[in-house]
A and B are shown apart, each in its own frame.
Chain A
Amino acid sequence: MDKPIKMPLLLNRNARKSGEDRLVSSKARAKRRAQQAFWHGIGFGFAALWIIPILWVARTAFMPKEAGISSTWSWAWTFDNLVRVWHAAPFGQFLWNTVIVCGGVLAVQLVTLTLAAYAFARVRFAGRDLVFLLFLLQIMIPPDILIFSNYQVLSEFGLLNTKVGIMLPYFASAFGVFLLRQAFKQLPYELEEAALVEGASRLRILSRIYVPLSRPIYVSFAIVSVSFHWNDFLWPLIVTNSVDNRLLTVGLAMFAKSTESGAQWTDVSAATLIVSAPLMIGFLLFQRKVIGSFMHSGIKG
């Protein structure tokens, strides 16, 4: 970041106020205004375009069935679709399964990645660089790609069609390890030294100093992890084959497939809204934190 900054240019900065204001005539200013308005128009136009799909689906989800088929616009609305869809498929069960899977994955991940991140940040052990490279491999080849072979591993363990089976491949998160390692490294080493002198064990130091001081990073990781697993589809689809273990996304896909005709769009829209709503509401409530967390997910380790 430092090299491209040209020092002479920086020195010119102070000359700006005196000279430039006089040079800018009112005509040029008007032209600038018009240009700016033009670009704002395009920008907000795009933003509006981006919102259309969700508005369209939300509108359809609350539309009475008859209005959904007719091509004329109507203002009529109803909650019937949402209620009917909720009872037409076991969405309550799917929701519960999804919560368990997301929570279970996150709980185990937090333990495994805390330990590994501390090892990479603060413990010098033989082979550390090699192990680091091995972790890197998971970032390059995410488990999503390996569905075919992971399915076989799972069937060797006899864990097909179980919630644990859906969770297992994600218990170790190299991405989380790198994220947390970076945070641990930024904490002053003196804290640890002081605690060591007072006779604290290293595991105690980890749980009493490192973990609490890195809380924002844990929250970021949790948000990214939960939204990933909430939205995951192909893996949960192939692992499960009964209602007891299906997740929301899989349930939605099955439901949508079973009602495939134009007249049913009010139902499919309602189901889509139900499945997307929990994360969307969370996002709207905590948008700053959510966007910030995903921003973190790109900062390299």
Chain B
Amino acid sequence: MPIGWSEKLKRNGFGWSLVLPSLLFLALFTYYPMLKSVWLSLHEKNLAVSEPLFVGFDNYVQLLKDPVFRQVFGNNIVFAVGTVPLSIVLAFLMALFADKAIKGRGLARLAFFYPNMIPMIAVANIWLFLYTPHFGLFAKLAAWIADQPVNLLGSPDTVMGALVFMMVWKEAGYFMIFYLAGMQQIPKDLYEAAAVSGLGTAASIRRITVPLTMPTTLFVSVVAITNAFKLVDHLWIMTKGGPNNSSNLLLYYIYDTTFNFYDQGMAAAMTVIMIVLLLLVSSLQFLRWDRKIHYE
């Protein structure tokens, strides 16, 4: 039976009025800011030029030439390459351990997950303390290994490693719970069958657990990469991006450029680069490559 016009109109109006409140806030704080960033990135606007002046792609060209931006961008890649695989592998191993029916696994789960409940800024305080020369536990440990006082956060060679270590500590337990969920969905029969065919524990993990948790791995990878670009709170407390920009990350540099150097055109251009980057990363997931990975 064909539905009448008024009926259709009513239903459409109803649907739209339900999504409208959300859409309004999304428009104000997601779509408009994105478009505004794109627009402003094509203009010069800073302390010297208060009215936006159209300069085309000049800001982008400047960025490519800017050694600090190149360094910060490189740092962010290093930070992602350092944190993402390590925290994913650790999360997988943690889940394997916490999933087994042994005594104390609840406790282990708790120990691995609790850093996720601590504010990033508090985490930064804790680790700044742990890394403080003469006082901090890890600083003492590093000094003992190197046989001389070490300032882990004060040297360009070690600062990135120290921050990666902290980030893995904070994140791995969060990713672990997704692996726990994934592993609980694997039928136990599979492992029993594998044992019968003489497959050892290591082999059955490699041939059953790893492939069947591939969708989880993909999801966690996207979250982890996004986090590597999104989480910069700790820099404010620990290093301010130093020494000599060696620990500076993209979002923190945007913050610095906006609120300390007041260069809005540049900040906008960097925001746009960030947006494009994140769109690329998350398209990995939304293109549903996970389905293909699954049947590999």
Given contacts A13-B193, A20-B196, contact A57 B15 (CB under 8 A): no
Leading 9 A-B pairs by shortest Cβ distance: A125-B15, A149-B33, A9-B193, A119-B18, A172-B25, A231-B119, A169-B29, A43-B97, A47-B111
Q: How many residues of B contact A (CB 8 A)?
A: 102
The yes or no answer to A217 lying at the interface (CB within 8 A) is no
B11: chain A residues at CB < 8 Å are 123-125
B-contact 0/1 string along A167-185, CB 8 Å cutoff: 0110111100100000000
Pairs across A and B, CB under 8 Å, 5 listed: A19-B196, A40-B102, A141-B278, A149-B271, A265-B135
CB within 8 Å of A: which B204-263 residues: 211-212, 216, 219-220, 223, 226, 229-230, 232-233, 236-237, 251, 254-255, 258-259
B28 touching A168, Cβ below 8 Å: yes
Contact A298 B129 (CB under 8 A): no
Q: Is chain A's binding surface mostly helix, strand, loop or mixed?
A: helix
Instruction: Please give the residue numbers on chain B whose beta carbons come within 8 Å of chain A beta carbons, in ascending order.
Output: 11-12, 14-16, 18-19, 21-26, 28-34, 36-37, 40, 94, 97, 102, 104, 106-122, 125-130, 132, 134-135, 137, 169, 173-174, 177-178, 180-181, 185, 187, 189-190, 192-197, 211-212, 216, 219-220, 223, 226, 229-230, 232-233, 236-237, 251, 254-255, 258-259, 264, 267-268, 271, 274-275, 278-279, 282-283, 286, 294-295
Q: Interface residues, chain A, CB within 8 Å of chain B?
A: 1, 3-6, 9-10, 12-13, 15-16, 19-20, 39-40, 43-44, 46-48, 50-54, 56-57, 60, 71, 111-113, 115-116, 118-120, 123-128, 131, 134-153, 168-169, 171-174, 177, 202, 227, 230-231, 233-234, 237-238, 248-250, 252-253, 256-257, 262, 265, 268-269, 271-272, 275-276, 279-280, 283-284, 287, 290-291, 294-295, 298-300
Give the Cβ gap from B215 to chain A, nearest Cβ, in Å: 9
Find chain B residues with CB under 8 A from A174 CB.
22, 26
Known contacts A138-B26, A249-B121; is-contact A47 B112 (Cβ 8 Å): yes
How many Cβ-Cβ contacts under 8 Å join chain A to chain B? 292
Identify which of A141, A151, A256 contacts B125 (C-beta below 8 A): A256
- When distances are taken between beta carbons in the complex, the residues of chain A under 8 Å from B230 are 142, 144-145
Residues B129 and A172 in contact, CB atoms below 8 Å apart: no
Q: Which residue of B16, B102, B113, B212 contacts A125 across the interface (Cβ within 8 Å)?
A: B16
Nearest chain A CB to B128 CB, angstrom units: 8
Q: Which residues on A sit within 8 Å (CB–CB) of B195?
A: 16, 20
Q: Are B15 and A123 in touch, CB under 8 angstroms?
A: yes
Complexed CA–CA distance, A13 and B194 (Å): 9
Give the Cβ gap from A245 to chain B, nearest Cβ, in Å: 17
Give chain A nearest CB distance to B19 CB in angstroms. Answer: 5
CA distance A52 to B140 in the complex (A): 14
Flag if B177 contacts A294 (CB, 8 Å): yes
Are A149 and B190 interface neighbours, CB within 8 A? no
Contact A294 B116, beta carbon cutoff 8 Å: yes
Q: Which of B22, B113, B130, B132 has the most C-beta atoms of chain A within 10 angstroms of its own C-beta?
A: B22
A234-B232, A294-B177 given; A13·B28 CB < 8 A: no
- Chain B residue nearest to A282 (CB atoms) is B117
Inter-subunit contact B22/A116 (CB<8 Å): yes
Chain B residue numbers with a CB within 8 Å of A248 are: 119
Whole-angstrom CA separation of A118 from B22 in the bound complex:
12
Would A168 and B25 count as touching, CB distance under 8 A? yes
Other CB < 8 Å A-B pairs besides A153-B33, A252-B119, A287-B110, 20 of them? A9-B189, A13-B192, A15-B196, A46-B94, A46-B97, A47-B108, A115-B19, A125-B14, A126-B12, A126-B15, A146-B271, A149-B33, A149-B271, A153-B32, A169-B29, A172-B25, A172-B29, A174-B22, A275-B122, A291-B177
Closest to A50 in B: B111
Question: Is there an interface contact between A150 and B19, defined as CB atoms closer than 8 Å?
Answer: no
Contact B22 A172 (CB under 8 A): yes
Beta-carbon nearest neighbor of A138 in chain B:
B30
Evaluate contact between A272 and B122: CB separation under 8 angstroms: yes
Residues of A within 8 A of B114 (CB): 50-51, 54, 280, 283
B255 cross-chain contacts in A, Cβ below 8 A: 147-148, 234, 238
Chain A hits for B226, CB < 8 A: 142
Task: Give the Cβ gap from B216 to chain A, nearest Cβ, in Å.
Answer: 8
State whether A153 and B108 are in contact (beta carbons under 8 Å apart), knowing that A125-B11, A283-B117, A298-B181 are contacts in the complex.
no
A-chain residues with CB within 8 Å of residue B109 when the two chains form the complex: 291
Q: Which of B33, B40, B125 has a CB less than 8 Å from the CB of A146?
A: B33
**Complex: A269 Cα to B187 Cα, angstroms:** 46
B28 touches A153 (CB 8 A): yes
Which residues in B have their C-beta under 8 angstroms from that of A295?
Answer: 177-178, 180-181
Q: Is the CB of B251 within 8 A of A53?
A: no
Give the docked Cα–Cα distance between A47 and B114 (Å).
11
A280 CA to B110 CA in the complex, in Å? 11
**Closest CB of chain B to A8's CB: distance in Å?**
9
> Is A137 touching B119 in the complex (CB atoms < 8 A)?
no
Roughly how many angstroms separate A131 CA and B18 CA in the complex, as a whole number? 12
